[in-house]
Structure formats: structure tokens, C-alpha cells
Structure 1
Amino acid sequence: MTRLSHVDYLAHLRRDSARFREVLATCDPEARVPACPDWSAADLLWHLGEVQWFWSQVISHRPAGPPEDDAHPERPGDHGGLLAFFDRSSADLTAALAAADPAEPAWSWADDQQTVGFTFRRQAHEALIHRLDAEQAAGVVTPLDPTLAADGVAELVEVMYGGEPPAWGRFEPGEGQVAIELTDVGTTIRVSPGMFFGTDPDSGRSYDGPHLLVVPAEGEPTATVRGTASAVDTWIWKRNGDAEITWTGDAGPRERFLAAIGSALN
């Protein structure tokens, strides 16, 4: 219900990357990033530049896997160098995506989403949230696009904090379901909060823990969380508090939902 066209994702990626760069060009490089207090504004600039470099390589060399560790660029030593690196990385990523078919095979860390389309969506949201980080560091926050923010909520519960389990894992739902009502866009997303159990056979790593699964809206939800798309998106991303979020319904599903989104994302 929330997906944008790939043309729109690319347009958002360009706009939010440009705003990110505009803000950090004049921000004190040592300013702290509120949502990531260990980061300075300069660290944030390097982070998104490196992320966009990485995904430009993935798309440019599709369907091969990610670049080797020794191919990664070194961090520039000054603010001007960081800005220039970001400019190159951002231009390379948008050019690579503009020349690609979203349906083409391409590596991603999501086992069930091995296409270029994953990167269109993921990098639009990456740029949006880090644009907000830059604005919060500089004290010049501007509104988020509500349609992109609504899809950001969907991506969080479908991919970042949930999703269909792989063949080597299983999902055990808890009692009750949560409806996420995005009041300004007329969208409701229903999720089942529960537990994921499984060990990745390739890495040997266990991923047991709280998990969300998007489910059809059948019957009444056991609990409901309400807010604008921007309020819910930035709350789940830990970029804003819950002052604009309201809950109704049973405490059990609410607590399981909060456990599933408990870890911070950078």
C-alpha cells in the first residue's frame, strides 16, 4: 500500500542527499548528532558518503556481491575532502540507479530481496533519515515528505525489524496484533509481534529475538498505535520521542511491539 514508484524513490534520494549536503556544508563539523551521540557531523558526512559509495558499487557491478574490504576508500582528512567524497559517492549512486532496471538481479543483505529495486527503496530511506540527522545536528529541521515517511514505517516493520523468516528460521507469533494507523495519509499497517528463532547456516550466528510480521487486517486489532507518518517513522527510527504517538488497547501486544523495535538503527 505504501510503495512508491522507482522514479519517485530516485527523486527523493536526490533531494534528500542534496539537502543533507547543503546542511553539512555549513554545519560545525564537530557538532554532535543527537540520535547518534558518538558521531560528529563530520562522522555523519563520512557515514552516508561511504554508504552511498558501497551501494553504487553493488549496483554498478550487479549481480556480483558487495565490494571487497580492501576496495573501500579511506576517510578524507578534512571537511572539504569529506564533502568532495560525498559528492562523488552520491552522484555515482544516483547515476547507477538511473541506468538500472529495478527488476534486475542485484545483491542485498535481505535474502528475499535480491534485486536493484531493494536499493532504490532502501537508499531513499537512508538519505531521508540521515538528512534529518544532519538537520538535527545543525538545528534546522524541516518536514519529512508524508508519503515517503509512510513507506518508511512499512520498510521498518517489513524489513528492518521484521519480515518473512528465511528457510532456516521460524516465527512464533505472540497473542494479539498491533495496528499502526498513519493518520495523515490514511494508511494502516497490521503487524503480529512475536519471536524469531534461527541460526544462519552460513555464518553460524543465532538471530533469536523479538520480531514483527506484517499480516492481513482481519478482525479488530488487539492494540493500536496512531500518529502521522512522519511522527511514527521518526519515532521508530529513534530520531524523535513518542510525544506525538498515542496507544490504545492491550498492553501485551504493545510491549511485544516495543521489544521488537527496541534496538537503535544508524
Structure 2
Amino acid sequence: MRELGHERLALGLKEQTAAFARVVAEADPDTVVPTCPEWRVRDLAGHIGQAHRWAAEIVRTGAYAAVPAVPDAEPGEPARWTGWLEEGAATLAGAVRDGGPDRPVWTFLGPRPALFWLRRMLNETCVHHADAALATGAGYEVAADLAADGIGEGLALLSDPAAEAFLPRLAGLRGRGERIAIRPSDTTGWTITRTPDGVRYEHGDTTGDVTAAGAVADLLLLFSRRLPSGHPRLTITGDRALLDHWLAATKF
């Protein structure tokens, strides 16, 4: 799978941040977010706005910056959320553009190109846009290429050799060759293999011990645990326990 380039990632971040902002700006700030049960809509808005600015600071300096805590990520008055959120996304995209997408910067997996943070924050925003929509009953849309990139990025992170050092519990994803197939109806899929040495994946339509099928946007929400595996828009065939274990073990 060819990863999305700087221009598409920047445009995607702009699109998804604007869509997220529309949902949260029209909601009661104290609405509980069921998929992030300790958060309210206000916390969700604060998290996204601060996360974009945090990533932009890392890109500008190339160095680690302290992660902002959600209670400290106060977004201000709801009437100002849209502009504040869109400004944060633009700040991050501009930092990547100005410093160069390929410039090495700090990440939790070791030095990576600055584009890492644009992609990471885009996919974070896509998922939290879904959180906001699920909390408020609003519609949710994400372009197929962005949804596919979200799944691909998640698999790349989980299979990175540095992932277990950063999060040792990911060693629980090791296995004996068990295969999980992801089969979107609107793009090429992926197959995850749990090996004794860690997670491996390939892009392409092959078979698995369990297969999850549906639209790529719904599969993104499944693998980010925003839709249950029993949702009517999804079709699960094979060893459902294998899929359930994966989903439980990759909860963050």
C-alpha cells in the first residue's frame, strides 16, 4: 500500500478537523462521550486542539515535548472552538511543510520523518471525530483513502520493531501464525499474522483464520474499537475469538 503524501495528509487533517469542529461546536459541552467514558465533549475538543499543537511543537524543535493532560487542555468557550481547532490543525500542517516532511524528529518509536506526526494526528482526529459523532448522534463521514490510511498506520505502528519496547504489553499479540484478514468492500485489504517474533502484516487480499469485512470506514471504526464486531454493517467469519482477543489487546 502506498502511503499518502504530505499534501493529501495535510488536506485530510484540514477536512477531518473541520468536520470534528462542526460536531463538537453544536453539542452540549458536558455531553459524555461513551467511547471515551471518562471524557465529555469539552475534553474531546480540548484534546484534539492541544494534540495538534503538541505535535507541531515536536516538529518545530525535533525534540520531545511533554504530553498535555486532558484536564489541562481547556478549549475555552464553545463559540470559539471552530477557529481554535482549525488553527491547531493549520499550525501542525505548516510546521511539517516549513521544516520539511522528511526531516527527522522525535517520536515514541525513535527518530522518524516529520510526516509521522501529520499522519498520526490525522488518524487521531478521524477516530475522535467518530467519538464526537457517536456521542451526539451526528453523521460521520471519512474519505475511503483516509480510512484506509488509518488502518494501515495502525498496523505499521503495531508491527514496528520498537513498539514492544515502548509498550511491553504488545508482546501479548505474538502468536503461532494466526491470521486476521481485513476485507474492505471499497479498497484492497490487509492480512495480519501473529508470529512468535511479533505482528506482521501484508497489503493484499489473502485468507485468514478470521475475516472482518465491510466498508473501509466501518473497518477503521472496528479496529479502533468504535464499532462492535457484531454491528450489522460488518461481517465476521471464522474464529471470532481471535478477532476479539486482538481488539482487546490493542485497546489504548
Could you state the TM-score of these two structures normalised by the residue count of structure 1? Answer: 0.78
Separation of aligned partners in 2, 1:83 and 1:183: 33
What is the DSSP-based 3-state SS (H/G/I as helix, E as strand, rest coil) of the residue aligned with 1:38? coil
Correspondence list, 1:128-143, <5 A: 128-143=126-141
Quote the offset at 1:60 in angstroms: 1.3
Give yes or no for contact 2:13–2:121 (8 Å, CA) kept in 1: yes
Distance 1:181 1:77, change over 3 A: closer
**1:164 and 2:153 matched:** no
What is the match of residue 58 of structure 1?
58
Quote the offset at 1:77 in angstroms: 5.6
Separation of aligned partners in 1, 2:150 and 2:105: 21
**1:16 and 2:2 matched:** no
Give yes or no for contact 2:182–2:213 (8 Å, CA) kept in 1: yes
Give yes or no for contact 1:212–1:260 (8 Å, CA) kept in 2: no
Distance 1:105 1:226, change over 3 A: same
What is the match of residue 104 of structure 1?
103
Distance 1:76 1:11, change over 3 A: closer
Larger Rg: 1
Quote the offset at 1:261 in angstroms: 2.4
Separation of aligned partners in 1, 2:67 and 2:116: 21
For this pair of structures, how many residues does the alignment match? Answer: 243
CA RMSD of aligned residues (A): 3.1
Separation of aligned partners in 1, 2:206 and 2:134: 40
Quote the offset at 1:26 in angstroms: 2.1
What is the DSSP-based 3-state SS (H/G/I as helix, E as strand, rest coil) of the residue aligned with 2:211? strand
Correspondence list, 1:71-220, <5 A: 75=74, 78-80=77-79, 85-111=84-110, 114-159=112-157, 162-166=158-162, 172-185=174-187, 187-193=188-194, 212-215=199-202, 220=207
**1:247 and 2:236 matched:** yes
What is the match of residue 26 of structure 2?
26
Identity score, percent: 23
What is the match of residue 220 of structure 2?
233
Distance 1:18 1:257, change over 3 A: same
**Cα deviation digits, residues 85-120 of structure 1 (max 9, x gap):** 535433321221232322110111123x61112112
Quote the offset at 1:76 in angstroms: 5.4
Quote the offset at 1:69 in angstroms: 7.3
Quote the offset at 1:75 in angstroms: 2.8
Larger helix proportion of the pair:
2
Matching residue's letter, 2:241: E
Give yes or no for contact 2:43–2:73 (8 Å, CA) kept in 1: no
Quote the offset at 1:246 in angstroms: 1.9
Give yes or no for contact 1:10–1:98 (8 Å, CA) kept in 2: no
**Cα deviation digits, residues 16-66 of structure 1 (max 9, x gap):** 11121222222111112231122111111111111111101011112x222
Separation of aligned partners in 1, 2:189 and 2:120: 21
Matching residue's letter, 2:246: A
Runs of at least 5 residues in structure 1 that lack an aligned partner in the other structure: 197-210
What is the match of residue 261 of structure 1?
247
Could you state the TM-score of these two structures normalised by the residue count of structure 2? Answer: 0.82
Quote the offset at 1:67 in angstroms: 4.5
What is the DSSP-based 3-state SS (H/G/I as helix, E as strand, rest coil) of the residue aligned with 2:48? helix
Separation of aligned partners in 2, 1:78 and 1:106: 33
